[in-house]
Chains A and B, each alone.
Chain A
Amino acid sequence: MRVWAIALVALAALISVSLCLGAANLDGEGWLLTVSRIPRTMAALLAGAGLALAGVVVQQVVQNRLVEPSLTGAPEASMLGLLAVTLIAPGMAVAGKMLIAAACALLGMTGFLALARRIPREDPMLLPIVGIVYGGILGAVCVWFAWAKDLVQYLGAWRLGEFSGVMMGRYEWLWAIAALAGLLYLVADRITILGLGETQARSLGLDYGQTRALGLVVVSVITALVLVTVGAFPFVGLVAPNLVARWRGDNLRANLPLVAVGGAALLLAADVIGRAIRYPFEIPAATVIAVFGAGVFLWLLHAAPGARHG
């Protein structure tokens, strides 16, 4: 219970700072709260929770805790799909764009999994390297495509996620993440068993292929939702699950909510810092989280595995 008390107090503090922080004074301007500040805070919370959960699922599927969705080529593949949509059918409804972005993310991850199959699991450092370079290659294709078709400004907005443009009526798609989080919690045990590896999972009677497919579809949808609404954020899916696992262990039935809260707090903190550090100008949350996340990643690479827990 103490864990939860700490997490929730920290989250509440962050939320109140986020609600009060802004160029305009709130006195007598209640509409500002509902139109801008609350949506912005909610968007950061939902996106952070979603990315953290997606990170857990990917880590269990590939049995490697140094991987996360943005290291599997999923966002880059999604951007490629979105660029194509912008070019071919610029007037497409948001739902259609989401669908195509999710489908492309799934395709991109499938390519990554095909590469992952060729890599022995005994060398956990290799998989993230391959993922980064794979994402880089897809990203190069994106840049080339965007240049050739004069779509660079779109790409810039997707690659560097931020929340300054979030307003009422422009972020509500992110609420779908809440539903997906509920779904993941229902199958938390199955996702943990995925992490034991295919043979062991099937020996326990789990339908491995079906569970994995479900997990990857959820990850793709979350990636697409976040990317289309607020842009890409690196490392959230890596940092939040790893910190929770080091502290509380790997049992997702117990820890999935904590991972979600952790991711939400992380991204909101990044946004708040980005807003506060050079007030009244803003630094994109993606930049803040990239620096912080890379630092944590380096620490994870060199820290000894965590000791006892629970």
Chain B
Amino acid sequence: MAERRVLWLGLGLMLLSAGFLVWQIRAPYGFILELRAAKLGALICVGAATGAATVLFQTVAGNRLLTPGLVGFDALFVLLQTVLVAGLGGVGFAQIPTAPRFLIEAATLGGGATLLFGLLLRRDAQDVMRMILTGIILGVLLRGSAEMVQRLMDPSDFAVVQQAMFASFGAVDAGQLGVSAVVLLAALALSLRLAPALDVCALGRDTSRGLGLHHDRLVMIALLLMAAMVSVSTALVGPVTFLGLLTASLARHLTGTHRHAVLIPAAALLGALILVAGQFLFERLLGSASALAVIVEFCGGLTFLFLVLKRRRR
């Protein structure tokens, strides 16, 4: 049943993508198709990465209201990149080829995320609300720090960071998209392999350890995978706070299962579906491309409030 819904989601995404590519297409076909394909690829990558990363993170944190974006892991990525530019200088940074740079950044983010998680979030596993609040404020701190470092930099270096950070859907670097897609697919495949273990992990640390799971090791691997996926989405389009929450909540609701083998693909597909459909709607039909991110934040925020208040009533 749940599996079939995932198939339907995949089918929907394919149809929508086709529509996105050919809707009202005019000459020069080749050029426009290429442009649209790059954009489509970015949207799918970002949506899928955000959805899957959120499911992983929620399982590891044992909390369905937390998302990597809310905790500020995307801000951590921005901060790392900024520090890298500040350290190497704009020219030096630009000389590192895309693929190794990306991998280094993702790995560093994974390390940073694991550290932060262990230091601040793990301790509060019993006190859910404190953990969420800690995460949110941590996000504010990281975003502020990134901005601070950016302001401290040379104006020319700052331009490099800005270019690296705030590439919009409109101007996707084909090389970066290629690397992102490869990293994302690898991370997704690995997460799916881990799915049965993640099902056990979701029962909580004590229970899963009792069942013979190497809980802490699994958490670390999951956080690394999450970091890779967050890097993909942040590098491509910059921070989107609430997309993950929207996607993961919808995925759980739609599939009605706890099995990660279903949840992860469902969330990935839903994330991609939301972004492609949203972009299609706003850019082609309503003619205001920039509104998508804002609408996602708006709906995501409402979802969050709804979930929090519903939680209290029980």
* Complex A–B touching at CB under 8 A: yes
Residues of chain A whose beta carbon lies under 8 Å from any beta carbon of chain B: 66, 115, 118-120, 123, 125-126, 128-130, 132-134, 136-137, 140-141, 143-144, 147-148, 234, 277-278, 281, 283, 287-288, 290-291, 294-295, 297-298, 301-302
Contact at B294–A120, with CB atoms within 8 Å?
Answer: no
9 cross-chain pairs, A with B, having the tightest CB-CB distances, nearest first = A125-B129, A294-B141, A290-B144, A137-B301, A291-B144, A140-B298, A140-B297, A144-B294, A294-B140
Q: Which of B40-48, B53-61, B202-210, B303-311 contacts A (4 or more CB under 8 A)?
A: B303-311
Range, interface on chain B: 35 or more
Shortest Cβ distance from residue A166 to the other chain B in the assembled complex, whole angstroms: 19
Docked complex: B281-314 residues within 8 A CB-CB of A: 288, 290-291, 294-295, 297-298, 301-302, 304-305, 308-309, 312
Of B127, B288, B294, B301, the residue contacting A133 (CB under 8 A) is B301
Contact count A vs B, C-beta below 8 Å: 101
Contact at A234–B298, with CB atoms within 8 Å?
Answer: no
- Specify the chain A residue showing the minimal Cβ separation from B143: A290
Contact at A298–B130, with CB atoms within 8 Å?
Answer: no
Contact at A144–B308, with CB atoms within 8 Å?
Answer: no
Of B130, B152, B298, the residue contacting A141 (CB under 8 A) is B298
Contact at A118–B120, with CB atoms within 8 Å?
Answer: no
Q: Given the complex, which residues of A lie within 8 Å of B276, measured CB to CB?
A: none
Shortest Cβ distance from residue A285 to the other chain B in the assembled complex, whole angstroms: 12
Q: Mark B123-141, 1 if CB is under 8 A from A, else 0.
A: 1000101101110111011
Shortest Cβ distance from residue B150 to the other chain A in the assembled complex, whole angstroms: 10
Shortest Cβ distance from residue B298 to the other chain A in the assembled complex, whole angstroms: 4
Residues of chain B whose beta carbon lies under 8 Å from any beta carbon of chain A: 120, 123, 127, 129-130, 132-134, 136-138, 140-141, 143-145, 147-148, 151-152, 241-242, 288, 290-291, 294-295, 297-298, 301-302, 304-305, 308-309, 312
Residue among B133, B141, B143, B295 facing the most chain A CB atoms (10 A cut-off): B133
A125 to B126, CA, bound (A): 13
Q: Known contacts being A126-B129, A129-B129, A234-B140, is A301 close to B134, with CB within 8 Å?
A: yes
Shortest Cβ distance from residue B268 to the other chain A in the assembled complex, whole angstroms: 24
Q: Known contacts being A129-B129, A136-B301, is A291 close to B145, with CB within 8 Å?
A: yes
Of B120, B138, B148, B308, the residue contacting A129 (CB under 8 A) is B308
Contact at B151–A287, with CB atoms within 8 Å?
Answer: yes
Q: Given the complex, which residues of B lie within 8 Å of A287, measured CB to CB?
A: 144, 147-148, 151
- Specify the chain A residue showing the minimal Cβ separation from B145: A291
Contact at B294–A118, with CB atoms within 8 Å?
Answer: no
A126 to B242, CA, bound (A): 18
Residue among B137, B140, B298, B309 facing the most chain A CB atoms (10 A cut-off): B137
A294 to B146, CA, bound (A): 13
- Specify the chain B residue showing the minimal Cβ separation from A134: B305
Q: Known contacts being A148-B288, A287-B144, A291-B141, is A128 close to B133, with CB within 8 Å?
A: yes
Q: Given the complex, which residues of A lie within 8 Å of B304, measured CB to CB?
A: 133
A123 to B312, CA, bound (A): 10
Of A137, A144, A301, the residue contacting B291 (CB under 8 A) is A144
A281 to B312, CA, bound (A): 48
Of B120, B130, B148, B312, the residue contacting A120 (CB under 8 A) is B312
Shortest Cβ distance from residue A238 to the other chain B in the assembled complex, whole angstroms: 10
Contact at B298–A144, with CB atoms within 8 Å?
Answer: yes
- Specify the chain A residue showing the minimal Cβ separation from B141: A294
Binding site of B, secondary structure by majority: helix, strand, loop or mixed?
A: helix
Contact at A298–B141, with CB atoms within 8 Å?
Answer: yes
Residue among B145, B148, B302, B309 facing the most chain A CB atoms (10 A cut-off): B148
Contact at A118–B133, with CB atoms within 8 Å?
Answer: no
A128 to B130, CA, bound (A): 10
Q: Given the complex, which residues of B lie within 8 Å of A128, measured CB to CB?
A: 133
Please list 20 pairs of residues, one from A and one from B, whose beta carbons are closer than 8 Å in the complex, sorted by A's number. A120-B312, A123-B129, A125-B129, A125-B130, A129-B129, A129-B132, A129-B133, A133-B301, A140-B297, A140-B298, A147-B288, A147-B294, A148-B288, A281-B151, A288-B148, A291-B145, A294-B137, A298-B120, A298-B137, A301-B137
- Specify the chain B residue showing the minimal Cβ separation from A235: B140
A287 to B127, CA, bound (A): 30
A120 to B144, CA, bound (A): 31
Q: Given the complex, which residues of B lie within 8 Å of A278, measured CB to CB?
A: 151-152
Shortest Cβ distance from residue B41 to the other chain A in the assembled complex, whole angstroms: 25
Q: Given the complex, which residues of A lie within 8 Å of B305, measured CB to CB?
A: 115, 130, 133-134, 137
Q: Given the complex, which residues of A lie within 8 Å of B301, measured CB to CB?
A: 133-134, 136-137, 140
Q: Given the complex, which residues of A lie within 8 Å of B130, measured CB to CB?
A: 125, 301
Q: Given the complex, which residues of A lie within 8 Å of B144, measured CB to CB?
A: 287, 290-291, 294
Q: Given the complex, which residues of A lie within 8 Å of B298, measured CB to CB?
A: 137, 140-141, 144
Shortest Cβ distance from residue B123 to the other chain A in the assembled complex, whole angstroms: 8
Q: Given the complex, which residues of B lie within 8 Å of A130, measured CB to CB?
A: 305, 308-309
- Specify the chain A residue showing the minimal Cβ separation from B147: A287
A118 to B309, CA, bound (A): 8
Q: Given the complex, which residues of B lie within 8 Å of A137, measured CB to CB?
A: 297-298, 301-302, 305
Q: Given the complex, which residues of A lie within 8 Å of B134, measured CB to CB?
A: 298, 301-302
A5 to B148, CA, bound (A): 33
Q: Given the complex, which residues of B lie within 8 Å of A295, measured CB to CB?
A: 141
Q: Given the complex, which residues of B lie within 8 Å of A136, measured CB to CB?
A: 241-242, 297, 301
A277 to B127, CA, bound (A): 38
Contact at A297–B137, with CB atoms within 8 Å?
Answer: yes
Of B133, B295, B312, the residue contacting A66 (CB under 8 A) is B133
A132 to B308, CA, bound (A): 13
Q: Given the complex, which residues of A lie within 8 Å of B127, measured CB to CB?
A: 125
Contact at B294–A140, with CB atoms within 8 Å?
Answer: yes
A301 to B297, CA, bound (A): 26
Residue among A118, A126, A140 facing the most chain B CB atoms (10 A cut-off): A140
